[in-house]
Amino acid sequence: MPSIALGSEETLARPAPSSPVTYAQTGVRQDLVALALSKLLEGTKGRIPPGSGEPLKLPGHFAGIVRIGRESVALTTDNVGTKLLLARTLDRWEEVGEDVVAVNVNDLSAVGARPSALVDYIAVQSPVPSVFEALGRGIGRGLKEACCHLVGGETSVVPDLVKSLDLSGTALGFFPKGRAPVTGEKLRPGDVLLGLSSSGFHANGYTLLRRLIEENAIDITRPLPGDPMPLGERLLAPTRIYTRPVEALLAARLPLALAHISGRGLRNLIRLNPKVQFTLDALPPLEGIFRWVADLSRLPTEELYQTFNMGIGFVLAVRPNHVERSLSVLRRSGGKDARVIGRVEKGRGVYLPNEGVRYDSY
Amino acid sequence: MPSIALGSEETLARPAPSSPVTYAQTGVRQDLVALALSKLLEGTKGRIPPGSGEPLKLPGHFAGIVRIGRESVALTTDNVGTKLLLARTLDRWEEVGEDVVAVNVNDLSAVGARPSALVDYIAVQSPVPSVFEALGRGIGRGLKEACCHLVGGETSVVPDLVKSLDLSGTALGFFPKGRAPVTGEKLRPGDVLLGLSSSGFHANGYTLLRRLIEENAIDITRPLPGDPMPLGERLLAPTRIYTRPVEALLAARLPLALAHISGRGLRNLIRLNPKVQFTLDALPPLEGIFRWVADLSRLPTEELYQTFNMGIGFVLAVRPNHVERSLSVLRRSGGKDARVIGRVEKGRGVYLPNEGVRYDSY
């Protein structure tokens, strides 16, 4: 069923100047989005006669799965969101082009599907060839990394509908012979959670980031201490594509659950299985832009970890006796940074003991 | 490869008040869109290693097709466009909800694929539950008519990116056992073109329609003569969904080529096969809103038939000895209005002898 990127795209109500800006201050609006979405879904209920493929019941998961003839395929759609405004400010578009591939193929990986095809949707005020050229380079780079084909797209010049440029996409994945969807229902206490680093904030939290930069009058043309790259470019870094390491682990039939840490941060783990607790007691220390955003925003830790990925972009759960082998497979396949970040326990929700944070729902 | 809805969404340069408004007056902008798109596609070229499904080479067709394991699937993406602004003016959203299903499943039908699954993308300034409720009802109605499942979606609240609401979708189709994609390459002179009526302007030409209404100070709360329905509602009529009659003809293995007459009007036929001529010598007379738009706009006929569908929303080509049987199948399956509208001849492009119009390219 349709998911919503509540955490990533909501605008912020103006807070009192002395209090830290949080996404929670949009409480009313978030309720409104949830209500609006439930209203939309009401109308779409109702039985579809057989003969059109059989959808797997996976409400709230990262992608929809349909059985078609002798194969199962996965379908997911996502947008780049307000990171596009940073791209516009810097007039750099290659990174967000890669993002539109990444945000979609990573959602496919999170159900164990291998990316196959992408279609893009660009709604634009006015088409600037140099912008499209850069977007195309980024999309091309993403497709290559994810081994995914571009099979179509829609470019719509609609100045009465969009400001500047909106970019989204839809990706189709499949399950190679002998592979079943990975949904997380087989998780049990004792299973181990492995993490792969993110390449930055990916495509989530940018409304808040832009606000922080504006309110603190930060010069994004200058780097953070110890970083050779200007802050603006650092923030624009494309979303890491996890296809290669995840495919390698899937080929070895090791993962029990897979999560793309996108909008809502670590709360995403709850989508995998609501009947176990995800205890993350070995998260990496906050460094670089993650340390920077924590210090600058003065957000409560609970807010921080549900707004940003805070350094971990993809989580993979395996049986305890498969940890060493899994780490080795990941490290050989583009996931050199793979590490144990926690474990599955009895209980519910997500628990960060070192940070003193607990999330009960997605 | 990505297609563009040039005809449907381009804004119009202001014409001299005495001359008719045409989409051609956006010539520079159309060139710019084509250039931008070619720049985008440059970057996405490059070989994808095998193992990710095999895309069929179908450049410029209505949907992309990928061979995945033992099945072929079709993927297409399209938006509702500026018809959404009419929905906003009338605060009626059910029709455009149905449109987002229709514009996509009709593109699937045009390659001979049966609709299976849809994902929707809503980018909104602020979510209004009653709007989402109406959209959901429309989407639900469209899905039911097309026998298609909603398997996901993205709702993004991005007031810095969109004005009001933008709506697009992506549909996945498949080829039931024994059915191959229908691309039009088997067309030959003598084949007969059948047409199914449109339910109105579908989702194309609305920028021009809005402009005409504004410039002529037309009251859309009043009906056209002889129509019980106010003009605004008439213009908002949802795009007809052709799934049932087309599926029936496909089940009888009769169609050689299928075309959804969307943006660019009858020029769409050229996408089917550039090596034959589509002679349309039996188009229906212009009635109702089609007569109205012709009279009001004073557009040259060539402009008219490449901007609007002018009454025919879907074209099906069959062998001459299959005409009677095909008409009978269509008429029994929701296509009571099926009629012969022309034939395939030696030559190239689209030819409308009665209107004195010839199109050489899509």
Average pLDDT over residues B183-198: 97
For residue B230, the distance in angstroms to the closest alpha carbon of chain A comes to 24
- Residue B215: predicted pLDDT: 95
For residue B337, give the DSSP letter: T
Average pLDDT over residues B209-220: 96
| Residue A71 to residue B75, Cβ atoms within 8 A | no
- Residue A229: predicted pLDDT: 96
Could you read off the pLDDT of B218-246 as tens digits, one per residue?
Answer: 999 999 999 999 999 999 999 999 999 99
Evaluate if residue B42 carries a pLDDT over 90: yes
Evaluate if residue A14 carries a pLDDT over 50: no
Average pLDDT over residues B85-111: 98
- Residue A49: predicted pLDDT: 87
Determine phi and psi for A316, rounding to 5 degrees.
-130, 130
Q: What token pair was written down for A81?
A: 């969101």
Residue of B nearest to A40 (CA): B136
What is the per-residue DSSP string for A36-86?
HHHHHHHHH-SPPPSSS-EE---TTSSSEEEEETTEEEEEEEEE-TTHHHH
- Residue B285: predicted pLDDT: 96
Contact B285, B335 (CB under 8 A): no
Evaluate if residue A1 carries a pLDDT over 80: no
Could you read off the pLDDT of A282-328 as tens digits, one per residue?
Answer: 999 999 999 999 999 999 999 999 999 999 999 999 999 999 999 99
For residues B16 and B19, what is the distance between their CA atoms, to the nearest angstrom? 6
- Residue B68: predicted pLDDT: 95
| Residue A127 to residue B36, Cβ atoms within 8 A | yes
Average pLDDT over residues B253-273: 97
| Residue B69 to residue A123, Cβ atoms within 8 A | no
Q: In degrees, to the nearest 5, what angle opens at C-alpha A86 toward C-alphas A85 and A89? A: 90
Contact A168, B73 (CB under 8 A): no
Contact A29, A10 (CB under 8 A): yes
For residues A256 and B321, what is the distance between their CA atoms, to the nearest angstrom? 57
Q: What token pair was written down for B270?
A: 């050229």
- Residue B2: predicted pLDDT: 41
Window B:14-43, CB contacts with A under 8 Å: 29, 32-33, 35-37, 39-43
Question: CA of B136: how far to CAs of A38, A39, A66, B98, in Å?
Answer: 9, 7, 21, 9
Determine phi and psi for A133, rounding to 5 degrees.
-60, -45
- Residue A2: predicted pLDDT: 41
Window A:134-173, CB contacts with B under 8 Å: 134-140, 143-144, 147-164, 166, 168, 170, 172
Average pLDDT over residues A97-119: 98
- Residue A22: predicted pLDDT: 58
Residue type, B229: M
- Residue B44: predicted pLDDT: 93
Could you read off the pLDDT of B167-187 as tens digits, one per residue?
Answer: 999 999 999 999 999 999 999
Contact A39, A33 (CB under 8 A): no
A340 vs B: CB within 8 A: no
Window B:55-114, CB contacts with A under 8 Å: 55, 63-66, 68-71, 73, 75-79, 81-82, 84-85, 97, 114
- Residue B9: predicted pLDDT: 36
Q: What token pair was written down for A234?
A: 């650092």
- Residue B46: predicted pLDDT: 85
Could you read off the pLDDT of A242-273 as tens digits, one per residue?
Answer: 999 999 999 999 999 999 999 999 999 999 99
**Residue B16, class by beta-carbon neighbours within 10 Å (0-12 exposed, 13-18 middle, 19+ buried)?**
exposed
- Residue B60: predicted pLDDT: 83
Task: List the single residue in B48, B82, B174 with the smallest CB-CB distance to A161.
Answer: B82
Report residue B59's pLDDT band, with 50, 70 and 90 as the boundaries: confident
Q: Which residue has the tokens 């019941």?
A: A57
Question: CA of B29: how far to CAs of A68, B54, B62, B63, in Å?
Answer: 41, 35, 23, 25
B123 vs A: CB within 8 A: yes
* For helices A206-215 and A288-297, angle between their N-to-C axes, nearest 10 degrees: 60
B contacts of A122 (beta carbons < 8 Å): 40
Half-sphere exposure of B116 (CA within 13 A, CB side): 28
What is the SS3 assignment for B140-207?
HHHHHHHCCEEEEEEEEECCCCECCEEEEEEEEEECCCCCCCCCCCCCCCCCEEEEEECCCCCCCCHH
Mean pLDDT is lowest, of A7-11, A330-334, B306-310, B355-359, for: A7-11
- Residue A60: predicted pLDDT: 83
For residues A119 and B4, what is the distance between their CA atoms, to the nearest angstrom? 13
Determine phi and psi for B79, rounding to 5 degrees.
-120, 170
Residues with Cβ within 8 Å of residue B328, at least 6 apart in sequence: none
Among B226, B183, B251, B52, CA closest to A147: B52
Mean pLDDT of chain B: 92
Window A:227-256, CB contacts with B under 8 Å: none
Could you read off the pLDDT of A26-75 as tens digits, one per residue?
Answer: 444 778 888 999 999 999 998 898 899 999 988 789 999 999 999 999 99
| Residue B166 to residue A158, Cβ atoms within 8 A | yes
Evaluate if residue A17 carries a pLDDT over 60: no
B contacts of A144 (beta carbons < 8 Å): 46, 48
**Paired strand residues for B230:** B223
| Residue B48 to residue A148, Cβ atoms within 8 A | yes
Q: In degrees, to the nearest 5, what angle opens at C-alpha A47 toward C-alphas B327 and A175? A: 90
Contact B3, A151 (CB under 8 A): no
For residue A272, give the DSSP letter: T
Q: How many residues does chain B have?
A: 362
Fold of B192-359: Phosphoribosyl-aminoimidazole Synthetase; Chain A, domain 2 (3.90.650)
Phi-psi region of A4 (alpha: psi -120 to 50; beta: other; left: phi over 0): beta
- At A152, which helix (H) or strand (E)? strand A149-157
First and final CA of chain B: distance in angstroms?
Answer: 14
Task: List the single residue in A66, A135, A177 with the smallest CB-CB distance to B117.
Answer: A66
- At A329, which helix (H) or strand (E)? helix A323-332
For residue A82, the distance in angstroms to the closest alpha carbon of chain B comes to 7
Task: Work out the number of other CB atoms within 10 angstroms of the CB of residue A323.
Answer: 17
Residue of B nearest to A210 (CA): B160
Average pLDDT over residues A95-99: 98
For residues A139 and A142, what is the distance between their CA atoms, to the nearest angstrom? 5
- Residue B8: predicted pLDDT: 33
Domain ranges of chain A: 192-359
For residues B274 and A275, what is the distance between their CA atoms, to the nearest angstrom? 58
Q: In degrees, to the nearest 5, what angle opens at C-alpha A129 toward C-alphas A126 and A132? A: 90
Kindly provide the ipTM of the predicted complex, given to two decimals.
0.93
For residues A334 and A145, what is the distance between their CA atoms, to the nearest angstrom? 11
Q: In degrees, to the nearest 5, what angle opens at C-alpha A21 toward C-alphas A20 and A23? A: 135
| Residue B117 to residue A152, Cβ atoms within 8 A | no
The shares of helix, strand and coil residues in chain A, as percent rounded to the nearest 5, are 35, 25, 40
Q: What token pair was written down for A361?
A: 């729902």
First and final CA of chain A: distance in angstroms?
Answer: 14
**Paired strand residues for B3:** A154
Could you read off the pLDDT of A332-353 as tens digits, one per residue?
Answer: 999 999 999 999 999 999 999 9
For residues A324 and A339, what is the distance between their CA atoms, to the nearest angstrom? 10
| Residue B137 to residue A43, Cβ atoms within 8 A | yes
